[in-house]
Amino acid sequence: MRSYNEQDIRFYDLNNNVDGDFIADETGDFAMTSEAESARQDINNRVRTQKTDWRSHPNIGADLELLEGEPNTRETGQRGQSQIYETLTYDNRFDIADLEVRAVPTSIEQIDFYTMLNTDRNGTIVLTQPLDL
């Protein structure tokens, strides 16, 4: 079960959060999202998916699974960062000036990618995507 920190609570109504991926209303249908929730959800989806996963958007996806089996080196982390930047700025969804991506090795077999989006109204949105190598 995912634990929620104070930042998550600020952006989500926990009663309407389904498994952390999509926001649903009380009937279980997709709920309308605010700008911050929409951005958070879009970043999460783009970083977690692979190119060609989205039939109507074949160039969106970070392709992080391509790094599986690679050594946990600075170069591997930089490749992952580059792939995340590419998917988030593709189609001008996010401005690169508002983004920061960091690769943090957490063990010999894992890198956590932290994606931070600076928003004017809601502060910084931070998402973490662990990758097992």
Max mean pLDDT range (7-11, 25-29, 58-62):
58-62
CB 117 within 8 A of CB 106: no
- pLDDT tens per residue across span 43-73: 998 999 999 887 888 888 999 999 999 999 9
Mean pLDDT (the chain) is 79
Relative orientation angle of helices 35-48 and 74-89, to the nearest 10 degrees: 130
* pLDDT at residue 85 in the model: 96
Domains (ranges, CATH) in the chain?
Answer: 6-132 (3.10.450.40)
Residue 1's pLDDT band (cuts 50, 70, 90): very low
**132's tokens:** 């097992």
The CA-atom distances, in angstroms, between 85 and each of 28, 76, 108, 113 are 32, 14, 24, 11
* Global confidence as pTM: 0.71
CB 83 within 8 A of CB 71: no
Is the pLDDT confidence value at 109 over 80? yes
Beta strands 123-132 and 110-119, pairing class:
antiparallel
